[in-house]
Structure 1
């Protein structure tokens, strides 16, 4: 079998839930505050994956305005009921996660076709996060709702175990008794539960240890769905905790799938750190490992528990598209793009925006350009005009051309490398108090909790009033630089210092440990703090992957 390089979903694809229906495999991953909600990838061979859809596309399903950074959609679980011939997606919309309380609202949506229109959500409960559904076809077709339980009275952490209750399809409600079936192990912070049934055993796979470098996957089993559950004799079954030099770190939050020919694989969250500070600039990604059920009826990771950078899969991976430069235009679909219901026509599937289910208030495609409507400041938790794509390579170049006529210093637009309101780099076209245009660099580098702006160049760069401006940036591992050129100029000029690109990572994401969960984005933004809705027009956007000597994973 071909050896395939992990991860299979690079760049901010966290908390994977995998599903096979016939010959088709699907993986759903978390999107947090980025809209539309949930990414679903498709494959026929486990090695080659394409983004199929983002199912949460309208306000009735998801409205995240006001959600803090790294809140929003957590750990969606994708399942299929063979008796109902229907796909189920259960997800949490987290409204608050820091401090003594967490507000975690759980919903279920359904669809007959996975890439079709998904239903309006049915509210389930708010008792915790990371819910999943288990369809027990051997038990009168019952469906069970499984999620972690929060208890704000527990100190120092509120993780209280895994709760089970039956879900009734007809009434759309939880019914019958509930029970905490598993309180976790000494690894602590038990979450991310998935239930399976094999050979008369109920298996409970959970994530433990937090989502940082102590992350792990724990397996337990019972003859009765209500427990008691015994823990795997070699717990954890998957973790990099004791292998600090392993290529794949932060391994945990996993899900299991069987192939048509009887093989078993496990997909899991992972991160690939760079720099001596061990920062995962591509966020939490999805990797895959081969597993097997031994004679003792326990599942083991092949060559585990430390995850392997390479794995044997049924097919080789074609990385041509991954390394192909992307030239995005906004007058129609770029090559390889698509528009699905709820995703604006003309915007390539690689792009997302933040929080709002009303994208027409922050951007439109007009006359072959992406037109951003200046709203709130970059980093707003409510309504900011920022359209961006994931950073999926350790080194890359990005470029766009901007037409923008600001009236004063409270109107600005440009090119940004963005993690969250506390961590971004932003090259802007703006103006001074007299309306004279200038280039200004804005950064907010690891500025939690103040979110304070920094101005890394002593004086703005004056530019003519009307010409378009070409803005560019380059990332080479942990180094980021900005460039610009005026309309008619071919050569880009450097502006500002070399920045530390590695702060665009979970490890620097503006929260305490285990508190930042997304990944670095690069894209276009516009703000009008005067409330005049000034428009900024971007002609195109280029993203060019670069093979670089500093990339230990890709070269």
Structure 2
């Protein structure tokens, strides 16, 4: 059978893959978003479904205050001693020489959890991974020289970990580093994301090369000894940097996995750019793709030849995973519980499918959904959100959002809100980060023609309006203000590649566009002066800047994606 890349579409970067029995498992970066460290599973490498998340990854279940695109970077998934392991870094400063990061380890008996509380490991830099070899455990890390004048990407280091067993199970609470930290490889070019695969008595070190933009790639080095020296392959295993016409750009950050049939595959990140007058922009963020690998003269090579990723790849013809809450004999432990959770979550993709305490595919910023979201009594398809801080806050935002997975999409929702002050608002959000968003919110404004001077306190004055705000690195601005009658308002956004339009309809009236068409490509990794690593979301949000008590009701959510072509 043939798979179509990307196999996990829309903001699924830094994929780490393993196979346990007949199942493949995949972890991806989550940055400032919850659920933290999304997990997927597949039987055939082509059809992937959510497998939960490492919901304990952030200590205290909080990433409050971390910058956009910081948070949890590049988790590495592994399996040893009957246990799933995941190591990752939490980056708390972005664009600085220090990164101010911590490196953590969580474990679970099955991928569906429960996951252990995070245990801190030595963190020389981000992008950690684990090698379990001959009963011993090794931590790989990027080395960051944070001194003034130092190199932030200063090679790859290896540290052995002592992990005691208690009742035959790894006791990660007692893990400790043993022996010296060793430098494995150092290069003038930027290398990160180390992963080691052992094959035929060789240690193959896969490295993410050239940064996270269009220069990205996968470089391979090998050694007969774990601690080196490592010889570097003359050619990249994977990159698209030499040809902007390759459909999958930014290809890099790979990991090898072997199929039960003996064939080898590479998972990697890639992006599907939109061509805009400002250059290529990737509104969907970086996604997960799979390539088939063959071994030539002891080196891994793409099966199709060269180093460019393909959008269609041949994989073993194995039945896709099936959701079966009744359970199947011989399945992995814990998957019955996990599949029931997925069956509940599948309703979220359907019109009217809002759910309380939402999990996949709903996401929240910097903390899990809490007491600010609840079902409306007697209305099971309606959510009530309580407003908190603004769209530009790094702290408690009341935002529920879903990833975009295609360049063309339409989202609709009905909002019922009666704000009485400009500090209260509720509605639809097109989101990338605190400096890049389009917010279509019901709020309050002064009587028409009067200046912004706090008149909301003057007893019944003012009007209910719909305001379209454009969040931008240079500062937010209002694109349109529309007077509203009473009652619920239907909101819509239509996304067509690099352009989006926003619409409203109230009281059973016709749809009317709010403001001009907007540049949706700004909600991308490639816009603005700062580092960006995630992707565009659409969602619902509520703001109350005074006392966090204002609420709004949302119903009839619908998100529809339209794929133009395979891999496109």
Aligned counterpart, 1:153? 147
Deviation of the 1:123 alpha carbon: 0.5
**After the TM superposition, which residues 15-54 of structure 1 pair with which residues of structure 2 at under 5 Å, given as runs?**
15-54=14-53
Judged with a 3 Å threshold, the aligned counterparts in structure 2 of structure 1 residues 336 and 79 are, in CA distance, closer, same or farther, namely farther
**After the TM superposition, which residues 425-436 of structure 1 pair with which residues of structure 2 at under 5 Å, given as runs?**
425-432=438-445, 433=456, 434-436=461-463
Q: Does 1:520 align with 2:540?
A: no
Identify the match of residue 310 of structure 2 among 297, 308, 315. Answer: 308
Deviation of the 1:115 alpha carbon: 0.5
**After the TM superposition, which residues 108-257 of structure 1 pair with which residues of structure 2 at under 5 Å, given as runs?**
108-137=105-134, 141-153=135-147, 155=149, 157-170=151-164, 171-184=174-187, 186=188, 188-234=189-235, 236-257=236-257
Aligned counterpart, 2:366? 355
Identify the match of residue 462 of structure 1 among 465, 483, 487. Answer: 483
Instruction: Please give the alpha-carbon distance, in whole angstroms, between the structure 1 residues aligned to 2:57 and 2:20.
Output: 26
Q: Does 1:540 align with 2:542?
A: no
Deviation of the 1:477 alpha carbon: 1.1
Contact 2:44 2:319 in 1 (8 A): no
Aligned counterpart, 2:374? 364
Alignment deviations for residues 130-153 of structure 1 (CA, whole Å, 9 cap, x no partner):
10000002xxx0000001011123
Alignment deviations for residues 175-229 of structure 1 (CA, whole Å, 9 cap, x no partner):
1110111113x4x221100011111111110101000000011100111111110
Judged with a 3 Å threshold, the aligned counterparts in structure 2 of structure 1 residues 348 and 152 are, in CA distance, closer, same or farther, namely closer
Contact 1:61 1:120 in 2 (8 A): no
Contact 2:57 2:106 in 1 (8 A): no
Aligned counterpart, 1:92? 89
Aligned counterpart, 1:283? 285
Alignment deviations for residues 424-457 of structure 1 (CA, whole Å, 9 cap, x no partner):
0111100013342111001113x2xx4x111112
Contact 1:47 1:317 in 2 (8 A): no
Judged with a 3 Å threshold, the aligned counterparts in structure 2 of structure 1 residues 62 and 98 are, in CA distance, closer, same or farther, namely farther
Identify the match of residue 505 of structure 1 among 503, 507, 524. Answer: 524
Query: SS at 1:502's partner residue?
Result: helix
Tell me, which stretches of 5 or more residues in structure 2 are unaligned?
165-173, 324-342, 446-455
Alignment deviations for residues 320-342 of structure 1 (CA, whole Å, 9 cap, x no partner):
x9xxxxxxxxxx9464569xxxx
Instruction: Please give the alpha-carbon distance, in whole angstroms, between the structure 1 residues aligned to 2:319 and 2:312.
Output: 12
Deviation of the 1:62 alpha carbon: 3.9
Contact 1:411 1:430 in 2 (8 A): yes
Deviation of the 1:519 alpha carbon: 0.3
Deviation of the 1:364 alpha carbon: 2.2
Contact 1:11 1:283 in 2 (8 A): yes
Judged with a 3 Å threshold, the aligned counterparts in structure 2 of structure 1 residues 336 and 256 are, in CA distance, closer, same or farther, namely farther
Identify the match of residue 545 of structure 2 among 500, 506, 529. Answer: 529
TM-score, normalised relative to structure 2: 0.87
Identify the match of residue 495 of structure 1 among 510, 514, 533. Answer: 514
Judged with a 3 Å threshold, the aligned counterparts in structure 2 of structure 1 residues 335 and 226 are, in CA distance, closer, same or farther, namely closer
Instruction: Please give the alpha-carbon distance, in whole angstroms, between the structure 2 residues aligned to 1:162 and 1:21.
Output: 27
Instruction: Please give the alpha-carbon distance, in whole angstroms, between the structure 2 residues aligned to 1:292 and 1:546.
Output: 34
Alignment deviations for residues 286-327 of structure 1 (CA, whole Å, 9 cap, x no partner):
111000122x21111122311112111124999xx9xxxxxx
Contact 2:264 2:293 in 1 (8 A): yes
Instruction: Please give the alpha-carbon distance, in whole angstroms, between the structure 1 residues aligned to 2:57 and 2:212.
Output: 29
Judged with a 3 Å threshold, the aligned counterparts in structure 2 of structure 1 residues 58 and 126 are, in CA distance, closer, same or farther, namely closer
Contact 1:78 1:87 in 2 (8 A): yes
Contact 2:156 2:186 in 1 (8 A): yes
Judged with a 3 Å threshold, the aligned counterparts in structure 2 of structure 1 residues 23 and 418 are, in CA distance, closer, same or farther, namely same
Instruction: Please give the alpha-carbon distance, in whole angstroms, between the structure 2 residues aligned to 1:18 and 1:51.
Output: 14
Deviation of the 1:362 alpha carbon: 3.1
Deviation of the 1:532 alpha carbon: 3.9
Aligned counterpart, 1:482? 502
Query: SS at 1:291's partner residue?
Result: strand
Contact 1:408 1:430 in 2 (8 A): yes
Contact 1:254 1:268 in 2 (8 A): yes
Query: SS at 1:143's partner residue?
Result: strand
Alignment deviations for residues 242-295 of structure 1 (CA, whole Å, 9 cap, x no partner):
11111111010000000011000001010111123111111000111000122x
Q: Does 1:390 align with 2:393?
A: no
Deviation of the 1:494 alpha carbon: 1.1
Q: Does 1:444 align with 2:444?
A: no
Instruction: Please give the alpha-carbon distance, in whole angstroms, between the structure 1 residues aligned to 2:401 and 2:520.
Output: 17
Alignment deviations for residues 381-413 of structure 1 (CA, whole Å, 9 cap, x no partner):
111000000001110110000111111111111
Instruction: Please give the alpha-carbon distance, in whole angstroms, between the structure 1 residues aligned to 2:513 and 2:141.
Output: 50
Instruction: Please give the alpha-carbon distance, in whole angstroms, between the structure 2 residues aligned to 1:86 and 1:144.
Output: 16
Alignment deviations for residues 72-123 of structure 1 (CA, whole Å, 9 cap, x no partner):
1100011000xx2111011111111212321111000000011021000110
Contact 2:410 2:559 in 1 (8 A): yes
Instruction: Please give the alpha-carbon distance, in whole angstroms, between the structure 2 residues aligned to 1:405 and 1:241.
Output: 51
Instruction: Please give the alpha-carbon distance, in whole angstroms, between the structure 2 residues aligned to 1:426 and 1:483.
Output: 12
Deviation of the 1:511 alpha carbon: 3.9
Query: SS at 2:370's partner residue?
Result: helix
Deviation of the 1:471 alpha carbon: 0.6
TM-score, normalised relative to structure 1: 0.89
Aligned counterpart, 1:325? none
Instruction: Please give the alpha-carbon distance, in whole angstroms, between the structure 2 residues aligned to 1:95 and 1:348.
Output: 24
Judged with a 3 Å threshold, the aligned counterparts in structure 2 of structure 1 residues 58 and 210 are, in CA distance, closer, same or farther, namely closer
Judged with a 3 Å threshold, the aligned counterparts in structure 2 of structure 1 residues 105 and 474 are, in CA distance, closer, same or farther, namely same
Aligned counterpart, 2:335? none
Contact 2:196 2:205 in 1 (8 A): yes
Deviation of the 1:57 alpha carbon: 4.5
